[in-house]
Amino acid sequence: MQDVLDSVRRFTEGEIAPHAAEVDRSGRLPEGIFRRMGEAGLTGLAIPEKWGGVDADLATFAASLEIVGAACASTAWALLAHTMCARTLVGAGTDAQKSRLLPGLASGATIGAAMAGTEAGGGSNPMGMRTHARRDGDGWVIDGAKEFISLAGYADLFVVMARTGEAPPAIGCFLVEKTDAGFTSGRREELLGMHGVPVGGLAFANCRVGADRLLGAEAGGLMVMGMAGAWGLAGAAGAAMGIAGAALYEAGAFVKERVVAGAALATLPGVQATLGDLQMELAASRAGLAQALREIEGRKGPPLPLFRAKLAATECAVHVADRCMGLHGAAGYSRALPAERRVRDVRAFGIHWGNNEVLRDTIRKGSVA
């Protein structure tokens, strides 16, 4: 879908990149950015055309996130959270749920966030979850709390995981809207990077939702969560490579201009070797992601190739961004240049959207099974 990528690139260059530094400084995404992304097709990338989306495949989505991530990591993160919500609804929603919600998500009129699963005792381990939902007449009542939820206090629609029974895996997923009584957002977290993304807590106190808010089966929350998992992995890998690619481009430009002892840094063999190595590492990560996406196409079960590719790409991106900051010398440690922002932002993609330490354990178990 080259035409999709061309559209994403044009929009990113005109509407996202010019505001990236201010987003980091102010801690706020640009006003109306989701509606403008909707007009350009970004918010509907993972939504079928039937509901107003673009119906892009995983490879196109990952490449789109790479373009956006290179410009502004916070915007890429917010778009990824929104897409996860949309894709979960595509996979598990009823026709009525899809017809009611997907057009707004596709246009950017509705901002989505998923998954609201992390709690003090359960994030990557859903079995430790304490938020619960009980049947009440023709609906459900949700009580509990979440933490470290992307777009908390900002999104309109959340996919919330809650226990629906005591026997595991009795976990359900519920569509909760910002205006629902008994649903509130808590304190916003102060993060190392991703300053433009509101991340914080959610609280549910006798939050009553209708029966039509259950997404999937009553005890099928883990299956619902997995329906969008590949999109989170691929999007995170793509965005991280975008950040690393931008850092590498900026470092290459800097060393050509920076003169030390009468010669540009770019003429030094050590600098040339470092840049060559980083280019090679990033190219290998891109190739690994592309190969993984081909391998999982049509395959059922855990996408182990994509687990490996996401892990490799995000770890590579951290290394590339850090080395590129170092190539800037003292200037790289200054907030006057984007190098230090790249380092702060890129680290988050190895923590979320499939925690890298959890992925390592899953990969190990899958390799010896």
Q: The CATH number of the domain where 32 resides is what?
A: 1.10.540.10
Same structural domain for residues 118 and 102? Answer: no
Q: What is the mean pLDDT of residues 79-97?
A: 97
Helix H or strand E segment including 328:
none
Q: The CATH number of the domain where 188 resides is what?
A: 2.40.110.10
- Is residue 91 exposed (0-12), middle (13-18) or buried (19+ Cβ within 10 Å)? middle
Q: Which range of residues forms the domain containing residue 191?
A: 114-221
Phi and psi angles of residue 354, each rounded to the nearest 5 degrees, phi first:
105, 90
Tell me the angle at which helices 58-71 and 229-257 cross, rounded to the nearest 10 degrees.
Answer: 40
Same structural domain for residues 72 and 127? Answer: no
Q: Is residue 1 pLDDT above 90, yes or no?
A: no
Same structural domain for residues 243 and 363? Answer: yes
Residue 123 confidence class, pLDDT cut points 50, 70, 90: low
3-state secondary structure of 325: helix
Q: What is the DSSP letter of 330?
A: G
Same structural domain for residues 336 and 247? Answer: yes
Measured distance CA(4)–CA(252) in Å, rounded: 28
Q: Of 256, 238, 251, nearest to 326 (Cα)? A: 251
Phi and psi angles of residue 297, each rounded to the nearest 5 degrees, phi first:
-60, 120
Phi and psi angles of residue 139, each rounded to the nearest 5 degrees, phi first:
-145, -160
pLDDT, residue 279, reads: 98
Same structural domain for residues 232 and 197? Answer: no
pLDDT, residue 369, reads: 43
Q: How many domains does the chain have?
A: 3
Q: Is residue 287 pLDDT above 60, yes or no?
A: yes
C-alpha radius of gyration, the chain, whole number? 21
pLDDT, residue 101, reads: 98
pLDDT, residue 367, reads: 67
Phi and psi angles of residue 170, each rounded to the nearest 5 degrees, phi first:
-80, 75
For 127-173, how does the pLDDT look when each residue is reduced to its tens digit (9 = 90+)? 778 899 999 999 999 999 999 999 999 999 999 999 998 876 689 99
Phi and psi angles of residue 262, each rounded to the nearest 5 degrees, phi first:
80, 5
pLDDT, residue 124, reads: 60
Task: Please tell me the total number of residues recorded for the chain in this structure.
Answer: 369
Same structural domain for residues 155 and 246? Answer: no
In the block, tokens 């925690």 appear at: 355
Residue where one domain finishes, among candidates 60, 87, 110: 110
Same structural domain for residues 178 and 198? Answer: yes
Residue where one domain finishes, among candidates 54, 78, 110: 110
Same structural domain for residues 201 and 103? Answer: no
Lowest mean pLDDT of 113-127, 167-181, 242-256, 340-354, name the range. 113-127
- Is residue 335 exposed (0-12), middle (13-18) or buried (19+ Cβ within 10 Å)? exposed
Neighbours of 108 (CB within 10 A): 23
Q: Is residue 65 pLDDT above 50, yes or no?
A: yes
Query: Percent of the chain having pLDDT more than 70?
Result: 97
For 186-219, how does the pLDDT look when each residue is reduced to its tens digit (9 = 90+)? 999 999 999 999 999 999 999 999 999 999 999 8
Same structural domain for residues 93 and 179? Answer: no
Measured distance CA(323)–CA(341) in Å, rounded: 13
pLDDT, residue 226, reads: 85
Same structural domain for residues 131 and 83? Answer: no
Same structural domain for residues 104 and 121? Answer: no
Same structural domain for residues 178 and 191? Answer: yes
Bridge-based pairing state of the strands 199-210 and 183-188: antiparallel
Bridge partner list, 209: 140
Q: What is the mean pLDDT of residues 263-284?
A: 97
What are the strands, taking DSSP E only, across the chain? 112-116, 132-136, 139-150, 157-163, 171-177, 183-188, 199-210, 214-215, 259-260, 263-264
Q: What is the mean pLDDT of residues 115-135?
A: 81
Residue where one domain finishes, among candidates 110, 142, 168: 110
More confident residue, 129 or 266: 266
For 307-350, how does the pLDDT look when each residue is reduced to its tens digit (9 = 90+)? 999 999 999 999 999 999 999 999 999 999 999 999 999 999 99
